[in-house]
Structure 1
Amino acid sequence: MQLKDIMTKNAKCCSADNTLEEVAGIMWNDDVGIVPVVDSENRLSGVITDRDIAMAAFLKHRPIWEISAREMIGGHSCHSCYAEDDVHEALRVMDESRIRRVPIVDDKLHLVGMVGLKDLANHAVSKGPRKSSQLTVNEFTDTFRHISKPNELQATA
């Protein structure tokens, strides 16, 4: 099954000029923990998570209304998948990058949706005839365990 079949379409996004306060407002109003950052042509530039905002507030010693999304995404890579990719590709990207959500783009890198662990879990346990391209519950739980494992600094604290 392709990611376009399980992704959340019309994901809320922001521009690099938005402040972290505005991004936090999007998260609050739409009950999401990640906001993709796009350019003027809706091409994916990066993402900001709720954790990114908390860490910026702590480490930059500045109010979040003074910190732009541009500051947060500059120089960082952004993992994404294509809408036509198989669901296993999103699971692979999440597993290797230890991320819980991944932006979905088209062939011109325009943001077209988001896929999170919830979407993959729902797909893995969906009822009906099982297809060879469907995730198994074991594939999903193995990835979830790996993503959720504390990093070395957290494990030793």
Structure 2
Amino acid sequence: MNINEIMSIDVKTCMPSSNLQDVAGLMWNNDCGAIPVVNELNIPLGIVTDRDIAMAAMLNQKPLWALTAAEIIQNQNLCSCQQNNSLQECLNMMKEEGVRRVIVTNADDTLAGIVSIGDVLAFTGNSISRGKKQAAQIKHEPVLSMLKHVSAHRMQPQQPLAQMEKNSE
């Protein structure tokens, strides 16, 4: 199975200059947790997640309208694949990179869609997707392996937040 068979194609995007208030609004209005950041040619540069927005606001102690998508993606390693890649290649990337979403591109590197854990689960076993029962097309084992890895708890900072703030002054 190729990625283009399960990816979401109605993907809302933002520009690097978009403020996080607007990006959060896109998420709310479109019931999604991630917005790809693209340039004027629709080439993906990064992705902003709902968690990224919350952490940026907390760590920078600024309102969302004072922060941009560019600030979120500046040191980001973009995880993407082409739509003719296999699902297994995408699962391997998700597992290796510890990500819940992978941007999908066309042959010319423009945005084609996005694959999320939800998209993968919708085609696993006898899942129900958008009210329609899906045929068992994806084996459970590779999906569970990826989910265990991506969902594992990560090391927390050694210093409590209050101590980190004092050290940054």
**What is the TM-score of this pair, normalised by structure 1?**
0.90
Structure 2 equivalent of residue 142 of structure 1: 145
Structure 2 unaligned blocks of 5 or more:
127-133, 161-169
Letter in structure 1 aligned against 2:99:
I
> For 1:71, what is the secondary structure of its paired residue?
helix
Structure 2 equivalent of residue 75 of structure 1: 75
Q: How does 1:105-120 map to 2 (within 5 A)?
A: 105-120=105-120
Indicate if the aligned counterparts of 1:19 and 1:67 stay in contact, CA closer than 8 A: yes
Structure 1 unaligned blocks of 5 or more:
none
Give a deviation string over 1:100-153, Cα, whole Å, max 9, x none.
11111112221110111111112221554x6xxx53111111111111110122
Letter in structure 2 aligned against 1:141:
L
Q: How does 1:53-64 map to 2 (within 5 A)?
A: 53-64=53-64
Letter in structure 2 aligned against 1:91:
L
Detail structure 1 runs of 4+ shifted over 4 Å in the superposition: none
Identity %: 33
Give a deviation string over 1:50-83, Cα, whole Å, max 9, x none.
0100011001111110111111111322111110
Structure 2 equivalent of residue 88 of structure 1: 88
Structure 1 equivalent of residue 38 of structure 2: 38
Higher Cα Rg, which structure = 2
How many residue pairs are counted as aligned between the two chains? 151
| 1:151 and 2:145 correspond | no
Distance, in Å, in 2 between the alignment partners of 1:78 and 1:64 is 23
Distance, in Å, in 2 between the alignment partners of 1:2 and 1:28 is 29
Distance, in Å, in 2 between the alignment partners of 1:79 and 1:143 is 15
**What is the TM-score of this pair, normalised by structure 2?**
0.84
